[in-house]
Amino acid sequence: MAAPELHKLTLDNGLRVVLAPDPTSPVVGVSVHYDVGFRSEPEGRTGFAHLFEHLMFQGSESLEKLAHFRHVQSSGGMFNGSTHPDYTDYYEVLPAAGLERALFLEADRMRAPRLTEENLANQIDVVKEEIRLNVLNRPYGGFPWIYLPQVLYQTFPNAHNGYGDFTDLEKATVDDCAAFFDTFYAPANAVLTVAGDITVDGARTLIEKHFGDVPARSAPARKDFSEPAPQRELRQVHPDPHAPLPAFAVGYRMPDPVNDVDSYLGYLVLAGLLTEGDGSRLQQRLLHREPLATEVTAGAGLFGPFEARDPDTFSITVVHAPGVSTDHLLGVVDAELAAIAETPPDEQELAKVTARWAASLHREHDRVMSRTLGLGSFELLYADAGLIYELPERISATTPAQVAAAAKALRPDSRAVLTVEPGAGDAGQED
């Protein structure tokens, strides 16, 4: 689809706004991205950013608990939120007639969420159950996104478990929640995005009406989470009693995704070259020619690409047959990376990967929800919402030399290797 015209404004209280009108279907998306994520939560309060995301759905200044759910669903809409390394997002997608309702709901909880002892205790239990379901009682739960950073990084913001430790979650207080809200949930620390069947003047009027009187507070100074890359290979074993097969993940540092976009794209294309589709290098080698593995994936960013500021992680994960050593498989990975570094891929092989990525991005932009969230996150992280519409062309322009340079930078002496040991060991946290 053609890139829609974008309109930006900033309210007096500091709230940044992105408007993306598109009259092709009578639907609107509304999102609010706050500049706070896992990496910003205080030491000793692991999982707090995600816990607070849950609390934002438990009522607000003018609404009782569950009212947000009821108002969106009765309008024929859907809603959700999610916590990422460097931001937390909240969104609704509704019929166009529900725009004002969505704006009121987001403004009301930006003004004052309902932070009570009851809500906090209830949501601590909900988050703990989510951890049990998604991490502790699931094969390969938390692998690699929770455990690999603990090997690759040394500082608390980059290395800690963003889902949270039960002990830390249980220590959270209402005062902690109020301080977190006051610090990070200021209008000046957020981006509001409205996309879909709107008029710019009409949307602007409604936004001023509902968000204009949200009290202004200063945005916190953004912390620098940079740290030196490893100077040697770092290894750790993670016992997983639920895993049926051994596995490992290898993690490397990547270029700054915000300030060095084109280099970062080289890693994104490299991941596709290695593991996307039956014809990819590692799939061919490990699943077909030498059937040593059952699954192999690679990716730029543990949560996906364009999800975080610097530092960010390139990872390769392999689930493999018993009796095959991690070192043997790492040797295969290293050989394939060396081959790409020494002999860059030809234009035809590269075109298959870049065309797949470009098609995927265009497909995502056709969905109002994905477009709204993409515009908001790119405005927050890159200060450039329109970059999402440039990415297909920029990825398509990635050169063999860029991909070869990325492969050459993924060195054995500057990486983390996390090995999953199946069928034995402690499942993790216990209540």
Give domain limits for the chain.
7-211, 234-422
Strand order across the beta sheet in which 293-300 lies: 234-240, 416-422, 247-253, 313-320, 293-300
Name the residue among 295, 248, 252, 290 with its Cα closest to residue 270: 252
Q: What pLDDT sits at residue 430?
A: 39
403 vs 267: CA distance, rounded Å: 7
266 vs 296: CA distance, rounded Å: 20
Alpha-carbon 112 to chain mean position: 26
* Domains 7-211 and 234-422 agree in fold: yes
CATH number of 7-211: 3.30.830.10
Name the residue among 169, 407, 109, 385 with its Cα closest to residue 266: 407
Between the alpha carbon of residue 360 and those of residues 84, 173, 266, 354, 365, the distances in Å are: 21, 43, 17, 10, 9
Neighbours of 355 (CB within 10 A): 13
At the fourth CATH level, which superfamily is domain 234-422? Metalloenzyme, LuxS/M16 peptidase-like (3.30.830.10)
Q: What pLDDT sits at residue 195?
A: 97
Burial pattern 146-182, b for ≥16 Cβ within 10 A else e, equals bbbbbbbbeeebbebbbbbbbebbeebeeebbeebbe
Residue 407 and residue 220 in contact, taking contact as beta carbons nearer than 8 Å:
no
Q: What pLDDT sits at residue 33?
A: 98
58 vs 64: CA distance, rounded Å: 8
Structure tokens at 422: 């199946």
pTM, two decimals, is 0.95
Residues of the chain with confidence (pLDDT) below 50 = 1, 425-431
Coil, strand or helix: which one is 101?
A: helix
Structure tokens at 243: 């895993």
Rounded (5°) CA angle 348-354-358? 140
76 vs 218: CA distance, rounded Å: 36
DSSP letter (8 states) at residue 136: I
71 vs 92: CA distance, rounded Å: 11
Q: What pLDDT sits at residue 364?
A: 85
Residues 6 or more apart from 153 whose CB is under 8 A from it? Answer: 159, 227, 311
